[in-house]
Amino acid sequence: MVSSNIEKLAEDLEKQELEAQNGIASPQVYEQLLAIYLYENDLCNAKYLWKRIPASVKSSTPELNNIWAVAQHMWKRDFPGIYKALNAVTWSDGVANIMKQVQDRVRNRSVDLIAQAYSSITLDTVSAMTGLPPDICATACVERGWQVEADTRMVHPVRPTPQTSGQTSSEDQLYKLTDFVSFLEN
């Protein structure tokens, strides 16, 4: 539901940017659109939008620069920097909800990355990658079913089970087709 609302909002904002008088949209349009690109993890479009925004709008809109700071950290995959940039600002009503969702999505992607890539990792690293304090992070890891060693402060993530999509692989399809053709030739 949230995703479809954001997609609709993004379309509306892109349309407003295109139809803006003198080719310059309002700072709020740029702020929201840039924040939505971050929510979608569409860093290429975020970068192109930043380049399109007139310098006068950039210099007169501090919040736009704060959103761009988050984008720069996301581009570098600097997780501690992302959370620092997100939490360093009291966001305006126009982007506060979107930036909260950006933070949640970055955290979820970080957790998925940790689960996929690590068999063991320090609690401090998990804390830095999720933006959570170590004590809350340890509790969240345990709730997720991960093993946390209190004495060594090591976390052992549980790799998620791959979901079967019900689709067969190309090799399976080729085998079935070959088997069927062989049957027809007999």
Tokens of 42: 């569409």
- Same domain? For 41 and 94 the reply is yes
The pLDDT value given to residue 76: 95
- Same domain? For 122 and 71 the reply is no
Given a contact cutoff of 8 angstroms between Cβ atoms, the answer to whether 133 and 127 are in contact is yes
Count of domains observed in the chain: 2
* pLDDT tens-digit readout, 98-152: 999 999 999 999 999 999 999 999 999 999 999 999 999 999 999 999 999 989 9
CA distances to 11, 139, 162 from 156, rounded to whole Å, are: 42, 13, 18
What is the phi/psi pair of residue 61, to 5°?
-125, 90
C-alpha to C-alpha distance for 29 and 122, rounded to whole angstroms: 41
* pLDDT tens-digit readout, 3-40: 668 888 889 999 999 898 888 899 999 999 999 999 99
- Same domain? For 74 and 22 the reply is yes
What is the span of the domain harbouring residue 96? 2-107
CA distances to 61, 83, 84, 125 from 88, rounded to whole Å, are: 16, 8, 6, 21
Q: Read off the pLDDT of each residue in 42-71 and give the average, rounded to a whole number.
A: 95
- Same domain? For 44 and 76 the reply is yes
Residue from 81, 130, 82 nearest 109 by CA: 130
Tell me, yes or no, whether 133 lies in a domain. yes
Torsion of CA 162, 77, 103, 26, to 10 degrees: -130
* pLDDT tens-digit readout, 159-180: 887 766 666 678 888 888 888 7
Q: Read off the pLDDT of each residue in 154-158 and give the average, rounded to a whole number.
A: 94
Given a contact cutoff of 8 angstroms between Cβ atoms, the answer to whether 30 and 64 are in contact is yes
C-alpha to C-alpha distance for 80 and 106, rounded to whole angstroms: 11
- Beta bridge partner(s), residue 149: 154
Given a contact cutoff of 8 angstroms between Cβ atoms, the answer to whether 136 and 126 are in contact is no
Residue the block writes with tokens 């304090």: 133
Angle at 17 between CA 72 and CA 14, to 5 degrees: 75
Residue from 20, 18, 33 nearest 67 by CA: 33
The pLDDT value given to residue 5: 85
Tell me, yes or no, whether 176 lies in a domain. no
* pLDDT tens-digit readout, 60-96: 999 999 999 999 999 999 999 999 999 999 999 989 9
- Same domain? For 21 and 94 the reply is yes
The pLDDT value given to residue 1: 43
- Same domain? For 100 and 31 the reply is yes
